[in-house]
Structure 1
Amino acid sequence: MRDEKNGIIYGGKITSVPTHMNCGRHFLECIRKGKSKLALIDGATDEKITYGELAQRIVNVASSLTRIGVKKGDVVGICSENRIEFLVTAFAIFCSGATVTFINSAYNKNELIHTVKISKPKFLFLSPNTYKSFYEILKSLNIAKDFTVFGISKNKDVRSFRDLSKKYIDINKYQPYDFNGEVQTALILYSSGTTGLPKGVKLTHRNLIIAGHQPPLCSNELNILSLAPWCNTVGIILTMKALKENQSIVYLNKFQEDLYLHCIQKYKVGILYAVPPLIVMLAKSRMLQNYDLSSVELMYCGGAPLDLAVMGEAKKRFPRLKHILQGYGMTETTGGITEENVSANREGSVGTIMDGNIVKVVDVETRKVLGPNQEGEICVKGDILFEGYIGKDMKDDMDEDGFYKTGDISYYDEDGYFYIVDRIKELIKYKAGQVAPSELEATLLQHPAVKDVGVVGLPDPLAGELPSAFVVKTPGSKVTEKELIDFVASKVSSWKQLRGGVRFVNEIPKTASGKILRRVLRDSLIKPPASKL
């Protein structure tokens, strides 16, 4: 619904939030309905668990957490790659009344220390891999006092997860913590850190329940394949929504082209959860012809805008692909602000406002509320908005009407479909013009010799910034810098041309959710080339 006078757009209202306000209990009730249907499949090892088994293990672990002293107000950390124990533990922590935080297993030492100091987990769960990499560092911080390793521990000071999950608890008698309507932090996630170190984002049980209430993308009979790490927002929210709908999820921890395509064929995958770089790779892959991919009906893409040309190429490569749907959101909005589904989609858009959101688009300078087809900053408030940052004042993040300032440039059409342009901080300012890096990236990806690309502004004393591209060549390509500069010049306006040049690299640095780490690219521009005005 759009308020034509005030320029405010409203998503649908969420009316059925349980009074116990425990998302663990809410999702456990949904999971139990799946019974013997497969819930999770490890695509690399073929390890499987049914919904009935998943529910039972959650209850077993939740009961054991209470027994070892986990209680309301405690923060419990999970540092692990995707594995069944990860989700079992996360849901068990929700049920216990404590707060869970996910620490990315791909963090370096500084990032690890930074995030642990933000959330201060009293209990920590580690996979065997993260135990080897991080245990001594974590122990030396003297923040966590209790450690558990998934599997069997050989360290007498570290608990074996097996000991927490083996005791059988009658699922019909187990009672998760009842908050009696109290708003309580359920999950601490970390902003992606594309422009700096991550911030601790507090999401409530109510936030997570409402996020799970969003309408499904399509039929719950289609199997899902996902690479998204569960430690980040896209990964955990999409997974929770799929489990609530009792869908079967095949998951992988890293992209290996042959294994990924093999999983599609073996498990008859119907839905691919993907970030734009993955869809770009699939659209250009030479291996697709070796596999039966006829089961794929839908791709769901988030993390960054997906170019129409890439969408068109992907549809050519997958014979029965019906829809490529996009969504837009952020950690601070519990994942979703807008979303498409099979009954409401428009090519190139990121969909319409999701339930629980209230949105406006404002002029970046004047803060005036804008109407259809006018680009400005998207601002949001509503039931899905987060509780706040840990240890950070929110005054600069909110406007005077209580809207959260996303920092993203967007516009919507007359029917309420939104289109993302770019981040405010990432817009390149060349003389009097503004250049969206994503536009130039989409243009470059149309060139057959470009496998991946990232665009940033190169500081220039006269022009302000010069658009500059970092390009990963397709294997065997001999394309030159001049060829790519000329290719872009033939397709864009004069102020958008690559006056900062092209640098060829082996890979584009990205976050786990697929967002380009532009600050890393900018930092690599140590010595700017001569100005090309």
Structure 2
Amino acid sequence: MSDQAALVFEERQYSLAHLEALTDGMAGALAKHGVRAGERVALMASNRPEFVLAVRAAWRLGAAIVALSPSWKQAEIEHALAITGARLAVGDQELLGNLLPMWHLDEPIPTGGGPFPATDPDADALLVFSSGTTGLPKAVRHTARSFATAVGQWRDVLGLTGADRIQVTTPPSHILGILNIVTALETGAWLRLHRRFDLDLVLRSIEHDRITVEMAVAPIALAMASHPALESYDLSSLRYIMWGATPVTASVAETVTRRTGVGWVPAYGASELPVIACNPLAGARLDSVGKAAPGVTLRVVSLETGAVLGPGETGEIQARSDSLMAGYLPAEATEDAFADGWYRTGDVGEIDADGWLRLTDRVREMVKVRGFQVAPAEVEGVLHGHPAVADCAVFGIPDPADGEALIAAVTVAAGTAAAGTTSAPVDADALVAWVGERLASYKRPRTVVFVDDIPRLPSGKVLRRVLKERYGRTSDH
């Protein structure tokens, strides 16, 4: 096995042989910690090589990783643990260690370990989280087989080989982060893992490490487009930049290409089905997420009748693939995600006669902030807990940096009023902080608007489209 670096983190370098030895050692340590085949192990950690080792070590034992975001607060962690049944933990976050027995990633990794038994490819291997219409995050279950299939699809559509060099700045607990990491290592590509996102560091790494494929989401693309010294960096090693997680903002992508000469490859996936579509590496288009990935079958169905539609007709995008999730936890959430065996993406779009997929809207009311799904009902539940809030509704508006931004419309309880009025005020910033204290930072509203009433149907369903029309262009955002 080659001694060349496979994973690099700051000044530390790991060859594949070194990673294998460390993985064996950590697997042995986790086995002593009580991890067994079929166990669900909560993993909550910052970006670091030990995160990668923990994932590989758990898989070596036939256990499943429950990937928790290090930005989560205690209530979010407790919910995730309750629905997944995780009883053991690995990580570097004190909040998780207070809730479960945790093997800390700062512990020295022993050498040796094994031999390890053969594992079941159809057993759960990875659980990531996707918010649902109930407002509480659901766990997306991937088996070893389904995730390995997704890795192969990602490698194929991106044309990755052992000659490629990539870097990862996105949280590894997010499906895109862990997909990029595992795909790079499985392909034999050179991988730099960053502790956090820093644009100048990313650009310097492209130049000095001769990165060949850059993985980007909307905030990274916008930061590149607006960087005053972008031209001072040598980005000539890049074959392309992948745009994922949100629809492409064409003006931003075109600005980066004009200033650097580097083109884009838009792609489309979900936690439930990591690789749905991707543009061809030659002839990529900014107005489409591309064509169905190899091994993925797509169809469009009517939003009203569920009937299958023809080319160019607009409806819900549905998909089938061996890389599709095994289901959700809680299990009862799974049924609504499928129609006749097809996964309902919840996205609205059309597929033309040549197979190009264009997304136009979202069936569900989810808001996607920086690639993370946010359920309005979850944020509304927190706002409703504030004594000054009588009613509220949360919705998303397009945002060039984050994909979408959260706006909260709030009516105040009797005896209180918005700041600037005569009765006891409730401050918009205080409501944003209230949410921030209870939920991850990306779930905080960008803006709070005070309204006289929340428009609803007789059934009680919020008319979010009305709110978007009334307040979606508020100057405050």
Q: Report the residue type matching 1:350 in the other structure.
A: V
Whole-Å Cα distance in 2 between the matches of residues 455 and 104 of structure 1?
20
Q: Does 1:273 align with 2:215?
A: yes
Answer yes or no: is 1:135 the counterpart of 2:76: no
Which residue number in structure 2 is paired with residue 251 of structure 1? 193
**Which of residues 206, 218, 242 is equivalent to 2:159?**
218
Indicate the residue corresponding to 2:53 in structure 1.
88
Partner of 1:525: 449
Instruction: Deviation per CA, 1:131-179: give whole Å up to 9, x if none.
Output: 3x5433x2xxxxx3x321112xxxxxxxx3x1xx32235xxx8444233
Specify the code of the residue in structure 2 equivalent to 1:279. Answer: A
1:374 paired residue number: 313
Distance 1:135 1:71, change over 3 A: closer
Cα distance in 2 for residues equivalent to 1:406 and 1:272:
26
Question: Is residue 168 of structure 2 the alignment partner of residue 168 of structure 1?
Answer: no
Please tell me the residue identity of whatever aligns with 1:266.
H
**Separation (CA, whole Å) in 2 of partners of 1:47 and 1:194:** 43
> What SS is found at the alignment partner of 1:317?
helix
C-alpha distance after superposition, 1:228-286 (max 9, x if no partner): 11111111112211211111111223222322222222212222111112101111111
The residue number in structure 2 matching 1:308 is 250
User: Cα distance, 1:306 vs. partner?
Assistant: 0.6
Alignment map for 1:152-163 (pairs within 5 Å): 160=107, 162=108
Q: Which residue of 1 aligns with 2:104?
A: 149
Change over 3 Å in CA distance of 1:427–1:409 after alignment to 2: farther
Identity of aligned residues (%): 26
Of the three residues 32, 40, 52, the one matched with 1:75 is: 40
Change (3 A) 1:150 1:457: closer
Alignment check: 8 A CA contact 1:338 1:351 kept: yes
Shift in CA distance, 216/36, structure 1 to aligned 2, threshold 3 Å: farther
Relative distance call for 1:355 and 1:454 in structure 2 (3 A) is closer
Question: What displacement does 1:526 show?
Answer: 3.0
Structure 1 residues 189 and 248: CA distance shift in structure 2, 3 A: same
Separation in structure 2 between the aligned mates of residue 271 and residue 283 of structure 1, nearest angstrom: 17
Q: What are the superposed Cα offsets for residues 406-448 of structure 1, whole Å, 9 maximum, x if unpaired?
A: 11112112211211112123499xxxxxxx977x65xxx5xxx
Q: Is 1:398 matched with 2:324?
A: no
TM alignment of 1:88-487, pairs within 5 A:
88-127=53-92, 130-131=93-94, 133-136=95-98, 138=99, 144=100, 146-151=101-106, 160=107, 162=108, 165-169=109-113, 174-179=115-120, 183-192=122-131, 196-214=135-153, 215=156, 217-220=158-161, 221-319=163-261, 321=262, 323-333=263-273, 335-343=274-282, 345-393=284-332, 394-399=334-339, 401-426=340-365, 441=399, 445=400, 454=404
| Displacement of 1:377 | 0.5
C-alpha contact (below 8 Å) 1:185/1:202 kept by paired residues: yes
Q: Give 3-state SS (helix, strand or coil) of 2:272's partner.
A: helix
3-state DSSP of counterpart to 1:425: coil
Pairwise CA distance, 1:523: 7.8
Q: Does the Cα contact within 8 Å between 2:302 and 2:309 map onto a contact in 1?
A: yes
Paired with 2:170 and 2:84, the residues of 1 have a C-alpha distance of 22
* 1:452/1:382 CA distance change after superposition, 3 Å: closer
SS at match of 1:102: strand
Q: 1:531 to 1:381 in 2, by over 3 A?
A: closer
Q: Distance in 1 between matches of 2:239 and 2:186?
A: 21
Please tell me whether the aligned partners of residues 218 and 402 of structure 2 are also in contact (alpha carbons under 8 angstroms). no
- Structure 2 distance, partners of 1:416, 1:372, is 8
Conserved 8 A contact 2:248-2:286: no
Give the structure with the larger strand fraction: 2
Q: Check conservation: 1:364, 1:376, Cα contact below 8 A.
A: yes
Amino acid at match of 2:8: I
Q: Matches of 1:64 and 1:457 in 2, distance apart? A: 46
The residue that corresponds to 2:5 in the other structure is 38
Q: Is the 8 A contact 1:216 1:245 kept in 2?
A: no
Distance 2:76 2:132 in 1: 10
**Are the counterparts in 2 of residues 422 and 437 from structure 1 also a CA contact under 8 Å?**
no
Partner Cα distance (2:470, 2:285) in 1: 41
The C-alpha deviation readout for 1:393-414, integer Å capped at 9, x for no partner, is 1332222x21121111121122
The CA deviation at 1:522 is 8.6
Could you tell me which runs of 5 or more consecutive residues in structure 1 were left unpaired when the two chains were aligned: 1-31, 139-143, 152-159, 429-435, 446-450, 461-502
* 1:299 maps to amino acid: I
Question: Which 5+ residue runs of structure 2 have no aligned equivalent?
Answer: 368-394, 411-427, 453-466, 472-477
Task: Output the amino acid matched with 1:410.
Answer: G
The AA in structure 1 aligned to 2:450 is I
CA contact (8 A) 1:229 1:253 kept: no
Q: How has the CA–CA distance of structure 1 residues 216 and 88 changed in structure 2, closer, same or farther, with 3 Å as cutoff?
A: farther
Distance (whole Å) between structure 2 residues aligned to residue 374 and residue 101 of structure 1: 39
The TM-score with structure 2 as length reference comes to 0.75
Q: 1:271 to 1:351 in 2, by over 3 A?
A: same
Paired residues of 1:327 and 1:351 also in contact (CA < 8 A): yes
Amino acid at match of 2:13: K
Aligned residues: 401
CA-to-partner distance for each residue in 1:89-108, whole Å, 9 max, x for gaps? 11111110111111111112
